[in-house]
Chains A and B, each alone.
Chain A
């Protein structure tokens, strides 16, 4: 892979035609660390991130369900080896933070907190989002040609888009995510696909967009303000598409260089293939600077994993896996076998960790500033259902990979005191930490948990995480 600085310098010949964004990027390539873009990747899984699967060797006692800790636990990861399912992340151990004990009880819903997970606000089943979520906020701060890219594992063959129920661009505006990897490829790297027809298609599409923009503008004239607002949403959609297309055409050569190889996993009906394609697309989009914020819905309760060599997993959905016992020696009310339950969970988790590790490896391979792209990236991995399938949001186990040029002290296992114990903190505090790392210091974020006593600090970033 060529150093990012070089390729940015070399994109050259038609540099007059560079999109403003690329000029911006070039300045960064030459410039100081502060001027480098900051990238954020959120990987959200369903079914809970089980504590026993993320605690390092030697710290197993913290992996017990409902472990009550009265004090803060802060252990360097260097002294421990990671859980076998996290083996792929060993090379990144110094950049990794494993966290437990943060609560998010403003979230509702038995299987997931919806927009509350990334937005720290109460959001009910099926209700439209009340405000934007953290990923969208960051995307607005560090916009690429695609302000934010989102992927959804998809649950039906042939599915193109899915609305994410964890991410919102604003009030009532859910983030649309690509379910089809092929469609995503076409939209993101499509300009390099078309040959001679490219110019014609671009031209005719532009005429179409102009037409539609005018169509809506005309219609708006005859309406009252409230109805006009509806058409505004429609209009903005067309305008955004139109502008993006122009910019992508201008940077076709760069895209050609970094686009992932198009193979049959882009059209595969097997979820795991699709997910791999999503991660490849995410990596390529980050490396080319097309976007700085990616949200990946890495699985969903309806998913039936066909890609693993495990007969039972092919038959039952993730939801049913969630109902299979997994606590050592304990069979649940349905007499499921806990060993099988644990095996199925381990398989999925290991796979997801590998994907994250793969993404980190790719970012680490591209030099940037005095280090690599990974140094200016943070990957957050958590479940919208906290620590288990039916969740109470008292513990939101999660991983943070990356230190954002030293903004975070990494390489540690942090276990916060249990809900309402002195020193307890919430997921919102992590969101504030991310905002601080993004250079958008904010000491209030989201709804406050009124169930927490006055002595619990709900404001400000996590002191233990910040350098």
Chain B
């Protein structure tokens, strides 16, 4: 066993407050960190300062429209109380702060204040509001979706040259890491750590553990410790066994040995002298005096599982100090950072490299990254990603966090969270759509060329399939949990399921979401890796994928506003202000108008000012219904009744057609065949034996069958040609008389407007969703916005202007390698932002 370098020592104290520095970077406004604020005595706003510095700005740039005369958007500032700390006009000041910081005001067509002027005003308002506990919420500003507050052009302009770094920090471990550890310990736990919640990036450095976390973790830790100490679990705690043998000698050495193995298991390192003193003398020996060995050992294990080292990833920067005050992560820190960039557990190869001194430079890191990211042929099996991904995800996926990025970026995993009434569409299967979307991502990642553009434009959709091999693997493979679950659920049917190569009653009907019928769906059973090329005028990439569409829809209808907001924030690096408090954000119900028409409520100028950033981007997706099905007309009125009637009509028509075909076959020859069939049946029938269970019922059944088949023989042998002709004529008449239900409908309006790409060739009206996504795929802004999100995901924080060089380099790596996600990722993870701390 190799002795690994120690994790950050506890006597390390070189860190200056970086909080203030970080905050400085938000829209140029100078914010003070909360800890500093607490020490400042309260002073009310200086009216002279307001008069001299701020009032001229308001008068010059705001009052013209928001004054006594015009009061645009019912907002006016001519009488605003400049003494912010009096609290009278807090709401108005917060509005000014929000509008000016988002570059929403002054309006585009007006003369713009200089950067310094803007930041001076913002800084002053922020500071005054802070004095009374108002203004922008610091916690909120740290959330990923707030990162777009940083001006995009400036970020990629090259005017900021770094040097980049992340603050020295603690990164609370993700729920996945905790889960993974508990699974290794063969223990079921309840999850104490939660992500950020909602759609979007979940694992962020702003998260922390509090009292509620501790309560749950303490409970879990005790269960884990009990398991480790129970005799039935010796396979995971072999090293503890010697202590509990009957004639075991308990001395310093044996305890030491047990402790070493526990440390390896929990912290992936050996204890230092300091650790030994703290854990053994400070806790174990104390408890040993008052309790038995088991209890003392249990407390020791719990103490490790509750320590801050276990809950937090320490990324303080323990490498050599640079002249500019930054420090690189130590090799061990780097090993952990890289491990958790891809997996939910430490990567032993990386830890080994760190201990052998081959993880000390950027070049070393790049080498390791290539080792991790270069897929062997055997790994290129994205279709093996199992439907029931909760179990054994990692059997198939070497880097679960890579796929997770795409899931969180597109937010399509929320497809399962959107409640859809089964009565409206029984073929909607959220989990299958989610899996299809996963496969779409993985199939594109496998080629690793023009990744974002492909994701936005491809019409080759992989779809979930089941076949004999897959089902056999599921029921008989080594994924015990899945196996038990399904064997219990489909007790007695397993052999039949495998033989049929499909789940009972499923029939891949979920493909109706792609406007495919069952026959077309049969194609996807051909085998792994198959995809279906959908019509190019119907689908283009993830944003027209049913999983994404449903994830960004409401319970009963589409949600063009949220879809537009998603595009604005994820592909155009822009922000939309929050819904103003008190606004009744409700769309009127009216079954005779389309959603777009009903959305007229937000066309008045005061709403449209913000909504114009969302609706024109989201409305092209009206070409799909809220289950993601492509449509050319929108059914109005009682749409559900229409679709019900339509299903009835189609079912009836198909039934009669089938019947007609059969009757055409019943000429003399066909009828003779029917007679023969019935006679054969009759011959096969045997009366039940007297001792059979339920004799009476069996006898009754037998008699019924005899009479049935006798009647059949009689009917068919008596029948003449005239009867056949009569039946055929009747069915033909009935079919001709059928009237297809006609809905109250309007053609879909799929028009929209793309704005904010920064490229006049792309901005402008769009014909439909395909046109929109294809333009986005060509947009530099969309590409860079995507990279900004990857940055947030892998750095665990919002980008700042000092990260400018990191982002520019990642963008360059992506471009120069033909749109390679892998190269972009290597660039991000070898950047100063990832490797340096200050």
Contacts and interface: CB of A to CB of B under 8 A. Distances in A.
A404 B388 CA distance: 54
A91 interface: no
A297 to B, nearest CB: 14
A223 B168 contact: yes
Given A161-B190, A219-B10, A237-B213, A130 B296 contact: no
A226 B299 contact: no
Contact of A226 (B11, B19, B290): B19
B581 A450 contact: yes
A176 B139 contact: no
29 contacts: A105-B582, A105-B584, A106-B581, A122-B581, A125-B197, A125-B198, A160-B190, A174-B212, A175-B212, A176-B211, A176-B215, A176-B216, A207-B286, A211-B282, A211-B283, A221-B13, A222-B12, A224-B19, A226-B17, A226-B33, A226-B35, A233-B210, A234-B209, A241-B214, A323-B421, A333-B638, A392-B584, A447-B581, A451-B583
Given A161-B219, A334-B640, 12 more contacts: A127-B140, A183-B219, A212-B307, A215-B307, A222-B13, A224-B168, A225-B35, A229-B208, A230-B208, A392-B584, A449-B582, A451-B583
A124 B19 CA distance: 27
B351 interface: no
Contacts of A171: 139
Given A211-B303, A224-B15, A233 B211 contact: yes
Nearest to A333: B640
B208 A204 contact: no
B611 interface: no
Interface in A292-351: 319, 323, 333-335
Given A110-B555, A234-B311, A160 B13 contact: no
Interface string A281-294: 00000000000000
Contact of B208 (A105, A234, A449): A234
Interface string B17-42: 11100000000000001110000000
A69 B137 CA distance: 39
B13 A127 contact: no
A66 interface: no
A291 to B, nearest CB: 15
Which residue among A128, A234, A450 has the maximum number of chain B CB atoms within 10 Å of its CB?
A: A234
Given A226-B167, A238-B214, A208 B16 contact: no
A356 to B, nearest CB: 26
A450 B210 contact: no
A240 B419 contact: no
A230 B219 contact: no
A172 interface: yes
A333 to B, nearest CB: 5
Nearest to B200: A126
A230 B11 contact: no
A223 B15 contact: yes
Interface string A163-206: 10000000111111000000100000000000000001101110
Interface residues of A, number: 67
Nearest to A205: B299
Given A128-B139, A208-B302, A215-B278, A160 B291 contact: no
A159 B220 CA distance: 12
Contacts of A227: 167-170
A204 B295 contact: yes
Given A215-B308, A237-B214, A158 B188 contact: yes
B121 interface: no
Contacts of A174: 212
B169 to A, nearest CB: 6
A227 B139 CA distance: 14
A335 B10 CA distance: 66
A158 B190 contact: yes
Given A106-B582, A216-B308, A333-B640, A237 B19 contact: no
A32 interface: no
Interface string A230-253: 110110111011000000000000
A455 interface: no
Contacts of B162: none
- Which DSSP category, helix, strand, loop or mixed, fits chain B's interface? loop
B510 interface: no
Interface string B567-607: 00000000000011111111000000000000000000000
Interface residues of B, number: 75
A370 interface: no
Contacts of B18: 224, 226
A231 B35 contact: no
A234 B307 CA distance: 10
A392 B192 CA distance: 33
B268 interface: no
Given A215-B307, A233-B211, A450 B190 contact: no
B295 A200 contact: yes
Interface string B289-304: 0110001100100110
Contacts of A126: 196-198
Interface string B309-344: 101100010000000000000000000000000000
B190 A159 contact: yes
B581 A218 contact: no
B631 interface: no
Interface string B594-632: 000000000000000000000000000000000000000
A127 B33 contact: no
Contacts of A201: 295
A163 B215 CA distance: 12
Interface in B184-208: 188, 190, 192, 194, 196-198, 208
Given A215-B308, A334-B424, A319 B419 contact: yes
Interface in B141-181: 167-170, 172
Interface string B537-571: 00000000000000000010000000000000000
Nearest to A124: B198
B287 A204 contact: yes
B17 A225 contact: yes
Nearest to B638: A333
Interface in B510-531: none
A406 to B, nearest CB: 35
A159 B137 CA distance: 33
B416 to A, nearest CB: 13
Given A204-B291, A449-B582, A451-B582, A224 B139 contact: no
Interface string B274-292: 0000100011001100110
A236 B211 contact: yes
B669 interface: no
B216 A233 contact: no
B489 interface: no
Given A225-B17, A233-B211, A208 B296 contact: no
A203 B169 CA distance: 34
Contacts of B11: 221-222
Greatest chain B CB density within 10 A among A161, A205, A448, A451 is at A161
Contacts of B316: 222-223
B243 interface: no
A128 to B, nearest CB: 7
A40 B510 CA distance: 50
A123 B295 CA distance: 45
Contact of A450 (B137, B209, B219, B580): B580
Nearest to B22: A226
Contact of B212 (A176, A208, A229): A176
A179 B311 CA distance: 23
A90 to B, nearest CB: 37
B242 interface: no
Nearest to A394: B584
Contacts of B209: 230, 233-234, 237
B195 to A, nearest CB: 9
Contacts of A108: 579, 585
B371 interface: no
Nearest to A390: B555
Contact of A160 (B219, B306, B309, B585): B219
